[in-house]
Amino acid sequence: METIDSSEQKSLTLEVTENAKAYLRTMASWTNFYAILGFVGVGFSVLYALMMFATNNTLSHLHTPFPNFFIPMGIFVLIIAAIKVFPILYLLRFSRKTNKALQEGGDIYVLEEALRNLKSYWKFIGIMSIIGIAILIITIPVIFIVSMSFAL
């Protein structure tokens, strides 16, 4: 989908019913809550990764079969946390721009930008879902083959 240049748009005003405004306000408050929750989750993920690094440092003097097991796991958790920041930012921007657009004398272009952020959020989630399903499709047979090789 392409964006339409503002000079090509036919109408600069959008009349929204009071019910639609109420729905948008509710969506904005829930997406704001979810964005805050997401940032808290990212914070806990970073804390978890730091604990993994500290645990690896503490256990490094022991003679274990996998001496640096927690390092790649901590790096993986940090990568996932960094990826999670992007959709959270899209939700936060949607929430703030929607609230701004619904204020008295709100600008239609602000609502347009809010909806663009919501579109970007769902696009990001869709792409990540496809990637997750592809990883599952690839790893399930691999795990099956490896487990069968150990069974023999």
Residue 4 has pLDDT above 70, yes or no: no
What residue segments make up the domains of the chain, in order of their start? 18-123
Does the structure show a pLDDT above 70 at 86? yes
Q: Is 141 exposed, middle or buried (0-12, 13-18, 19+ CB in 10 A)?
A: exposed
Q: What are phi and psi of 2, to 5 degrees?
A: -100, 155
Residue with tokens 């701004």: 100
Token pair of 135, please?
């990883």
Whole-number pLDDT of residue 49: 95
- DSSP tag of 107: -
d(CA 7, CA 32): 32
pTM of the model: 0.80
Q: What average pLDDT does range 38-56 have in this prediction?
A: 95
Helices in 60-107 by DSSP H: which ranges? 70-101
